Amino acid sequence: MTIDEIKIGGLGASRRRVEDNRFIRGAGNYVDDIVLPGMLHMEIVRSPLAHARIKSIDVTAAWAIPGVRLVLTGEMMAARNLAWMPTLSYDTQAVLATDKVRFQGQEVAAVIADDPYIAKDACEAIIVDYEPLPAIVNPTQAMAAGAPVIRDDKENQPDNVIFDWDVGDKDGTDRAFAAADVVSELELHYPRSHPSPIETCGSIADFDRSTSKLTVYMTTQAPHIIRAAVALVAELPEHMIRIVSPDLGGGFGNKVPVYPGYVVSILASILLERPVKWIEDKTGNLISTGFGRDVYLKGQLALRKDGKILGVRMQTESDHGAFFSDAQPSKFKIGLMHSAFACYDVPTAHLTSRGFYTNKAPGGVAYRCSFRVTEAMFFQERMVQAAADDLGIDQAEIRRLNFVRDDDFPHRTPFGFLTDSGQYGKCLEMGLEAIGYEDFLKQKEEAKKNGRLLGIGISTMTEPLGAGNSREYDILGIKMFDSAELRVHMTGKAILRTGAKSQGQGHETTWAQIVAHELGIPAEDIVVEEGDTDTAPFGMGTYASRSTPVAGAAVSMVSRKIRAKARKIAAHLLEVSEEDVEWELGRFFVRSAPDLGVTIQECANAAYSNIPDGMEPGLENNAYYDPPNLTWPFACYIATVEIDPLTGVWDVLNMVAVDDCGVRINPMIVEGQIMGGLTEAYAMASMQFITFDSEGNCVGSNYMDYLLPTAWETPGFELHEVVTPCPHHPIGAKGIGECATVGGPAAFVNAVMDALQGAGVRNIDMPLLPDRVYEGLTEGRDVSGAPPIRTDA
Amino acid sequence: MYPSRFSYEAPDTVEEAIELLRRGQGEAKVLAGGQSLLPMMKLRFASPGTLIDINNIPGLDYHRADSDGTYRIGALCRHAQLEKSPDLAASQPTMAAAAHTVADPIVRNRGTLVGSICHADPQGDWASVMISLGASVVAKGPTGVRSVAVADFVSGPFQTVLASDELAVEAVVPAPVGVRAGGYLKLERRVGDFATAGVAVSVEFSGSSVARAGIGLTGVGSSTINAAEAAAALVGGSLSETDIAAAAELAAAASRPRSDHRGSESYKRHIVATFVSRILTSLQLSTQEVA
Ligand SMILES: Cc1cc2nc3c(=O)[nH]c(=O)nc-3n(C[C@H](O)[C@H](O)[C@H](O)COP(=O)(O)OP(=O)(O)OC[C@H]3O[C@@H](n4cnc5c(N)ncnc54)[C@H](O)[C@@H]3O)c2cc1C
């Protein structure tokens, strides 16, 4: 009577997502669905200008509108020491502007009223007198001599430089370049994109004077970090703060930072002693909240004639907007950019990074980027392809030649990470086979004779997912471990809580599968709850693909603790000593008499009804898990495209993905993550960017300009898998949530650039809109996508 | 959506609607499919005092041919009705080519052709199609009915010659003078995107020679462009390569695009020329097949 693990929804079961039942029925419970008695509504006045001094704010007319309960401006926030708040990167950010506005869309004032219509009317009645200042929309402008200093609020900030940081071995790298046969260079820009989750950000702050307790329902991927931040900013005692993150309509890193709207709604609720709801509109979300990327690269590879990479030089300039508010490990300034070239056996490398303030919305670390690994891998794969082209060698061959070999683990990457497992060559060969590489090269040559432009692009990479370990990874000093708490009830049903927070990834489904795997309790008997700081154990939340590597590991570990106690109970029930008890999925039995056994459910019952003498009753526990290392999934993405030479329009002919994310808990969910990621990769490569004109006006403030791909134009994807279990994760799993978004874009761009080979263009910045491709093709030079955009106006 | 305060009327007859418009004294707006007006109200770019919803008025959702071939599209005929009409392609090839390029399926279920022309968005697809066909709009007001050619109806970006108390009741495509052919090509970045550039070409053949031609351009000027000179270059000929090249060049010259995040001025002109020549070349091929 051994249990079939797949049948109980254990490891490897493509179990349907339990949360979808309510999502598909429209019965999810999002922040905006929550209605509290006496609740008021808040709307925000945003700056129409990118850079301007505030001369005056007149709120008289707003106050005069019936139904208006409170009008807040920066000055009133300042009186309570709340005009500025700390960011997750040790900077400060304006809550409501006092002196200047520093980006278009910045929060200037807020109105709290009986309903959102009144609040919106009152916002329009607020008159702000601005004195415009010149706007800075890229790092080049930011560093120019005489550029206006954006952060003149800060002491010791004479210019617009946020940081100047480097990592790697400069001298060793210089030597490698001196000895190189060929140096291949590439300059490019990874444009600003936006995660744009379907649900925008929002909060309901509910301060109860009688208990002094503040409850905040909030769209956050990291409720515990928020609780700590609110305790610091609002100077409230932490035990009197309850953050509840209900169902989230997507996050993608957009819902990690602390936003002014949250803070203002909290203050408003404290002042008015009524619940205050703030729900951002789509434009507010696009123009003011955490974006992704906006990094410029100057990259160089030192190469031997045969394609062997001898050294890497990377210089990045990043545009962080008006405040340095990236949510990232505090030890690093430009996220994990230095994870570049981890899959290649490169002897030496050096990265210098400079970050700049500009008159744009703050952020940079978001959109499935795993702390800027998106940029790192895009740069890496574009540089590798450019090198192959420069040397005239095959793009697959240059990768084969440089990959870290399967027997070379653990491997120290050129920037100091330790990778621990992988079968890179196998993944690449599988991908080449699936796409029909050799055949396609022939087709491409044939097509060329008829004036048709075909191209193929490869992207291969291993990326660090699942921060921490806590030695190296913390945010604001809080170490990046995670946690799980499991309570098994008397009937063998259970509730599991973790410090992570699903925002669509399906934790309610997969966590139960891990418990099922460890304890043999059917997954459907386990309910998963996350997001309420009063009940969930402390954790750092969900982003950077860290849930399975960290919280998921904690789920395994807490299940094993439960099993250890259950074993003692089983020994008691079976009247044998613990050493004589054996475990098989869902059941303990006597080693010498396998028919004699008790199920995990019987042990659970005994934990409440027939406990051994001297043992604590109950069957519950928790686990805090600090992973020994990051996890290192590997991916190989290959795309083929055809370009219309008269319009620059390109179509994807085929796309193949080979992912090795170790052991797959729920293969269907893993495939969903990969397809979603590839769709976003295609979006960024083909259509998506938030750009700015020379006055700092955001082009991309709505979904007519900021494009999300639909099922119509998104290509089909063919998925393949390789499984190299993670050597240190309790069930051998690695992160997968971001692989395709990280590795995908380069496959598309490399394919288009391959089709343009011989036209004299080495780089076109994303998104590869038809006009850019046409320009590259016909004018035979690189096409930059750096803002400001060209306009006639 | 939190628009400014407005009142709402839903008349049952055209006459009632016109009376309500008159009483609105310029502060009232007609609500047809709502696919342009409601987004504008959401953003508070439009704040009409009164919405006059014409969706309850019976008998306006038609598209049909008169016995002489004149084609009429009623004020409540949705984009989707045209898109899904099985015999539209035979009589109105340009319209059939354009119908499925307008917006996305959800918008097409509500939006109307007449509403699109009244909205006069320079990036609206229908106005250029109608211009290429020499179509007109029939407007009814308190003092009577008039008919205005679409080319004259659109007077600027988001502007028409419609008076504030007039309702557009239908669009009328005149009967062809010969055999009608045509096409619509649109460069968009994604399904549901407005045109980076769009080209409508309608040609009427008498035998193998062109008896009438019209070319309308979408998204390449501050309003829909009637490329009359380009069309004139085709009349009397039989779509020779020279004629096609001349029309393409003249259409590009007639366009007035601006450089923006969708592309440079010169790129958009190039697209206009490319599309004019692609459509005409495909017509030439199909007429050769017929011959
Ligand atoms: C996401 C999205 C994408 C779109 N993409 C495209 C596209 O690619 N191409 C395109 O052409 N359009 C596009 N549109 C616009 C769409 O085609 C609209 O349906 C159309 O522009 C307006 O038609 P409507 O019936 O919805 O008009 P409404 O929105 O109801 O009205 C528009 C304007 O016309 C006036 N009006 C309407 N009917 C009459 C009438 N009978 N008499 C007098 N005045 C009238 C209204 O008062 C209003 O000012 C898009 C819209 C959306 C929301």
CATH of the domain at B160: 3.30.465.10
Q: Which of A368, A399, A762, A772 is catalytic?
A: A368
Query: pLDDT digits over A421-477, tens only?
Result: 999 999 999 999 999 999 999 999 999 999 999 999 999 999 999 888 888 898 888
Report yes or no on B274 lying in a domain.
yes
Mean pLDDT value of segment A311-322? 98
Report yes or no on B58 lying in a domain.
no
Q: By the CB < 8 Å criterion, does A775 face chain B?
A: yes
Percent of chain A's residues with pLDDT above 90? 95
The most distant pair of C-alpha atoms in chain A lies apart, rounded to whole Å, by 87
Question: Is there a contact between B261 and A705 if contact means CB atoms under 8 Å apart?
Answer: yes
Q: In terms of domains, do B164 and B187 share one?
A: no
Q: Is the CB of B224 under 6 A from ligand 1?
A: no
Question: Is there a contact between A687 and B104 if contact means CB atoms under 8 Å apart?
Answer: no
**B102, B187, B267: which to substitute to probe chain A, counting the most A Cβ within 10 Å?**
B267
Which chain A residues in 631-660 lie under 8 Å from chain B, judged by CB atoms?
Answer: 646-649
CA dist A132 and B227 (Å) reads 41
Asked if pLDDT for residue A18 goes beyond 70, the answer is yes
CA atoms lying within 13 Å on the CB side of residue A289: 32
Q: Is the CB of B76 under 6 A from ligand 1?
A: no
Asked if pLDDT for residue B286 goes beyond 80, the answer is no
CA dist B91 and B68 (Å) reads 12
Q: What is the mean pLDDT of chain B?
A: 96
Q: In terms of domains, do B126 and B89 share one?
A: yes
Asked if pLDDT for residue A793 goes beyond 80, the answer is no
Asked if pLDDT for residue B287 goes beyond 80, the answer is no
Question: Is there a contact between A789 and B260 if contact means CB atoms under 8 Å apart?
Answer: yes
Q: What residues in A contact B194, CB-CB < 8 Å?
A: 704
How far separated are the first and last CA of chain A, in Å rounded? Answer: 77
Residue A298: pLDDT band by 50, 70, 90 thresholds?
very high
How far A243 CA lies from chain B's nearest CA (Å)? 27
Phi first, then psi, for residue A32 (nearest 5°) are -70, -15
pLDDT for residue A314: 98
Q: State the amino acid at position B34 in one-letter form.
A: G
Q: Is the CB of B216 under 6 A from ligand 1?
A: no
Report yes or no on B70 lying in a domain.
yes
pLDDT for residue B290: 52
Among candidate residues B173, B190, B206, the one where a domain is terminated: B173
Query: pLDDT digits over A24-56, tens only?
Result: 999 999 999 999 999 999 999 999 999 999 999
Ligand 1 center to A199 CA (angstroms): 26
Q: In terms of domains, do B209 and B265 share one?
A: yes
Query: Quick check: helix, strand or coil at residue A315?
Result: strand
Ligand 1 center to B31 CA (angstroms): 9
CA dist B186 and B214 (Å) reads 17
Q: In terms of domains, do B207 and B225 share one?
A: yes
Report yes or no on B141 lying in a domain.
yes
CA distance readout (Å), A367 to A322, A372, A419, A600: 19, 9, 24, 41
Q: A371-463+630-779: which CATH topology?
A: Aldehyde Oxidoreductase; domain 4 (3.30.365)
Q: Is the CB of B197 under 6 A from ligand 1?
A: no
Q: In terms of domains, do B167 and B183 share one?
A: no
pLDDT for residue A216: 98
How far B194 CA lies from chain A's nearest CA (Å)? 8
Predicted complex ipTM = 0.95
Q: In terms of domains, do B43 and B67 share one?
A: no
Asked if pLDDT for residue B38 goes beyond 90, the answer is yes
- Which residue's CA is the closest to the ligand 1 atom numbered 28? B34
Which H or E run includes A434? helix A424-435
Question: Is there a contact between A791 and B260 if contact means CB atoms under 8 Å apart?
Answer: yes
Report yes or no on B43 lying in a domain.
yes
Question: Is there a contact between A771 and B267 if contact means CB atoms under 8 Å apart?
Answer: yes
- If one counts the domains in chain B, the total is 3
Q: In terms of domains, do B198 and B280 share one?
A: yes
pLDDT for residue A31: 98
pLDDT for residue B72: 98
Q: Is the CB of B153 under 6 A from ligand 1?
A: no
Q: Is the CB of B168 under 6 A from ligand 1?
A: yes
Query: pLDDT digits over A635-657, tens only?
Result: 999 999 999 999 999 999 999 99
Asked if pLDDT for residue A1 goes beyond 90, the answer is no
Mean pLDDT value of segment A211-223? 96
Report yes or no on B1 lying in a domain.
no
Which of these, A85, A198, A224, lies nearest to A504 by C-alpha position? Answer: A198
Q: By the CB < 8 Å criterion, does A705 face chain B?
A: yes
Query: pLDDT digits over A319-343, tens only?
Result: 999 999 988 888 899 999 999 999 9
Ligand 1 center to B186 CA (angstroms): 18
- The atom number, within ligand 1, closest to the CA of B125 reads 11
CA dist A477 and A470 (Å) reads 10
Q: In terms of domains, do B105 and B163 share one?
A: yes
Mean pLDDT value of segment A659-678? 98
Q: What is the mean pLDDT of chain A?
A: 96
Q: What residues in A contact B260, CB-CB < 8 Å?
A: 699, 789-792
Q: By the CB < 8 Å criterion, does A793 face chain B?
A: yes
- In terms of CATH, what superfamily is A47-133? Aldehyde oxidase/xanthine dehydrogenase, a/b hammerhead (3.90.1170.50)
CA dist A155 and A658 (Å) reads 50
Asked if pLDDT for residue A792 goes beyond 80, the answer is no
| A369 annotated active-site | yes
Q: Is the CB of B139 under 6 A from ligand 1?
A: no
Beta strands in A63-169 (DSSP E): 68-73, 84-86, 92-94, 100-101, 107-113, 127-132, 161-168
Q: Is the CB of B170 under 6 A from ligand 1?
A: no
The nearest alpha carbon in chain B to A280 belongs to B1
Identify whether the C-beta of residue A130 lies closer than 8 Å to the C-beta of residue B15. no
How far A449 CA lies from chain B's nearest CA (Å)? 21
Q: State the amino acid at position A626 in one-letter form.
A: D
Beta strands in A626-775 (DSSP E): 634-643, 650-660, 691-692, 698-699, 718-721
Q: Is the CB of B125 under 6 A from ligand 1?
A: yes
Q: Is the CB of B165 under 6 A from ligand 1?
A: no
Query: pLDDT digits over A528-540, tens only?
Result: 999 999 999 999 9
Rg (CA), chain A: 27
- The atom number, within ligand 1, closest to the CA of B104 reads 3
| A185 annotated active-site | no
Residue B289: pLDDT band by 50, 70, 90 thresholds?
low
Query: pLDDT digits over A766-788, tens only?
Result: 999 999 999 999 999 999 999 99
CA dist B166 and B143 (Å) reads 9
Query: Quick check: helix, strand or coil at residue A161?
Result: strand
CATH number, residue B277: 3.30.390.50
- The atom number, within ligand 1, closest to the CA of B218 reads 11
Asked if pLDDT for residue A678 goes beyond 80, the answer is yes
Q: A20-24+482-625: which CATH topology?
A: Aldehyde Oxidoreductase; domain 4 (3.30.365)
Of residues B4, B5, B191, nearest to A710 (C-beta): B191
Report yes or no on B235 lying in a domain.
yes
CA distance readout (Å), B222 to A411, A657, B118, B157: 60, 44, 15, 5
Question: Is there a contact between A790 and B264 if contact means CB atoms under 8 Å apart?
Answer: yes
Asked if pLDDT for residue A9 goes beyond 90, the answer is yes
Ligand 1 center to A208 CA (angstroms): 48
Of residues A283, A686, A713, nearest to B191 (C-beta): A713
pLDDT for residue A475: 85
User: Please, where are the H alpha helices in A180-327?
Assistant: 223-233, 260-272, 282-288
Query: pLDDT digits over B9-33, tens only?
Result: 999 999 999 999 999 999 999 999 9
Asked if pLDDT for residue A233 goes beyond 90, the answer is no
Q: In terms of domains, do B209 and B277 share one?
A: yes
Ligand 1 center to A325 CA (angstroms): 40
Q: State the amino acid at position B118 in one-letter form.
A: C
Report yes or no on B2 lying in a domain.
no
Among candidate residues B118, B153, B173, the one where a domain is terminated: B173
How far A322 CA lies from chain B's nearest CA (Å)? 23
Tokens of A48: 């129409």
Which of these, A461, A478, A462, lies nearest to A470 by C-alpha position? Answer: A478
Mean pLDDT value of segment A697-717? 94
Which of these, A30, A59, A73, lies nearest to A279 by C-alpha position? Answer: A30
- Tokens 């340095």, residue? A324
CA dist A584 and A580 (Å) reads 13
Q: What residues in B contact A116, CB-CB < 8 Å?
A: 2
Domain with CATH 3.90.1170.50 in chain A: 47-133
CA dist A254 and A712 (Å) reads 26
Ligand 1 center to A155 CA (angstroms): 52
Ligand 1 center to A119 CA (angstroms): 28
Asked if pLDDT for residue B285 goes beyond 90, the answer is no
Phi first, then psi, for residue A685 (nearest 5°) are -70, -35
Query: pLDDT digits over A709-755, tens only?
Result: 999 999 999 999 999 999 999 999 999 999 999 999 999 999 999 99
Query: pLDDT digits over B114-126, tens only?
Result: 999 999 999 999 9
Which chain A residues in 104-143 lie under 8 Å from chain B, judged by CB atoms?
Answer: 116-117, 120-121, 124
Query: pLDDT digits over B176-187, tens only?
Result: 999 999 999 999
- Domain of residue B42, residue span: 7-53
Measured in whole angstroms, how far is the alpha carbon of residue B217 from the centre of its chain?
10
Q: Is the CB of B219 under 6 A from ligand 1?
A: no
Of residues A43, A647, A705, nearest to B187 (C-beta): A647
pLDDT for residue A234: 78
Among candidate residues B119, B151, B173, the one where a domain is terminated: B173
Residue A478: pLDDT band by 50, 70, 90 thresholds?
confident
Which of these, B55, B59, B63, lies nearest to B79 by C-alpha position? Answer: B63
**B189, B266, B272: which to substitute to probe chain A, counting the most A Cβ within 10 Å?**
B189
Domain with CATH 3.30.365.10 in chain A: 20-24+482-625, 371-463+630-779
Residue B288: pLDDT band by 50, 70, 90 thresholds?
low
Q: Is the CB of B192 under 6 A from ligand 1?
A: yes
Of residues B190, B196, B258, nearest to A713 (C-beta): B190
Residues shown for chain B: 291
Q: What residues in B contact A793, CB-CB < 8 Å?
A: 258
pLDDT for residue A790: 82
Q: What residues in A contact B258, CB-CB < 8 Å?
A: 791-793
Q: By the CB < 8 Å criterion, does A35 face chain B?
A: no
Tokens of B63: 């598209």
Mean pLDDT value of segment A100-114? 98
